[in-house]
Amino acid sequence: MESTDAVKSEGGWAERTYEAMAPVYDDFTAHHEYDAWLADLVVLLERNGLRGERLLDVGCGTGKSYLPMLRQGWEVTGTDLSAAMLQLAREKSGEAVRLELADMRELPVFGEFDVVWALDDAINYLLSDDELVRAMIGMRDNLAPTGLLLFDVNALTAYRTFFAETSVVERGGRKLIWRGLAAPDVAPGSICESRLEVAPADADVDGIAPGEAPSLIHRQRHFPEADVLAAFERAGMECLDVYGHGFDGIPRQPLDESTHTKAIYVARARRQIPA
């Protein structure tokens, strides 16, 4: 784990990581049940007054987080900071989806959307409160008057387990080796690091020497609930609901960071009170 100042000084690391990770991303996340998960997320939006079917998917990656919505007739725009990830998304959805290269910290206004979401812990790649607020403001500015913002962040349990352990995915004739470098008792609000190594299928996971296999750095910050709520306030947004879920992906309340692996937030632009 590195200091926030050291991480900030590098710049562009997340883009470089996902440019290199694009060819293996779908294999590494093949176990994710997007159809069921997104269906549950739409229920949360409906509980908070969802109107319309215009979606802005921020950090859309290879399209896995919007394809089920496209099949259901939603009008979709996707953004990502990696051109390589967007190219894979284009191959899946063709001209049916507007895809734009954009950093969520400097998100342009692409229109007025009924839902803006950022899924698969994209928010955790923001490494400071200021970056989080800037991203929230950009997403807020893309909301229709009745639009809703939804995003997930990794809960503390995820950093004390997945980011503190080694796990291996074998697909496509390769071993994808995730080496979490966080401590099992990492403190709330920490920046945590892991490495994803791409190795031949017959590689010895414990015998790979440093530099022998391509290594992709992942850095994420844990955002405690209090920090997220404070960022909403700074960004001119109102938090409507907070949920947590474990590996089953089923949202529950209240959020419990000691057992849940993800937190889900639903928000809207703060409504002006007439004078």
Kindly write down the DSSP assignment for every residue of 81-94, as one continuous string.
S-HHHHHHHHHHHG
Task: Report the pLDDT value the prediction gives residue 11, as an integer from 0 to 100.
Answer: 56
Alpha helices in 13-125 (DSSP H): 13-28, 34-47, 67-71, 83-93
Does residue 24 belong to any structural domain of this protein?
Answer: yes
Asked if residue 223 has pLDDT above 70, the reply is yes
Are residues 185 and 211 located together in one domain of the fold?
yes
Region 54-61: mean pLDDT is: 98
The span from the first CA to the last CA of the chain, in angstroms, equals 49
Strands 262-269, 98-101: pairing is unpaired
In 230-258, which positions are buried (b, 16+ CB within 10 angstroms) versus exposed (e)?
ebbeebebebbbbbbbeeebebeeebebe
Question: Going by DSSP bridges, is the β-strand pair 54-58/113-118 parallel, antiparallel, or unpaired?
Answer: parallel
Local structure of 275: helix, strand or coil: coil
Range 237-246 average pLDDT? 98
168 pLDDT exceeds 90? yes
pLDDT at 2 over 70: no
Mean pLDDT lowest for which of 88-97, 108-117, 207-216, 257-266?
207-216
Domain co-membership, 162 together with 206: yes
Instruction: Identify the burial level of 144 via C-beta atoms within 10 angstroms of its C-beta, where 0-12 means exposed, 13-18 middle and 19 or more buried.
Output: middle
Q: Where among 221, 237, 253 does a domain terminate?
A: 221
Residue 181 structural domain = 158-221
* CA 273/CA 275 separation, integer angstroms: 6
Mean pLDDT, rounded, for 233-248: 97
Q: Give the predicted TM-score (pTM) of the model.
A: 0.94
Residues 134 and 264 in one domain: yes
Same domain, 176 and 252: no
Confidence of residue 272 (pLDDT cuts 50, 70, 90): low
Q: What percent of the chain has pLDDT over 90?
A: 90
Q: Give me the torsion for CA of 105, 108, 110, 111, rounded to 10°.
A: 90
Checking if the pLDDT of 8 tops 60, the result is no
User: Does residue 257 share a domain with residue 143?
Assistant: yes
- The rounded mean pLDDT for the chain is 93
Number of domains in the chain: 2
Q: Say yes or no: 208 and 97 in one domain.
A: no
Shared domain for 171 and 57, answered yes or no, is no
Which of 151, 220, 213, 149 minimizes the C-alpha distance to 186? 220
CB 183 within 8 Å of CB 193: no
Q: Are both 113 and 31 inside the same structural domain?
A: yes
For residue 214, the model assigns a pLDDT of: 77
Confirm if 147 and 88 have CB atoms less than 8 A apart: no
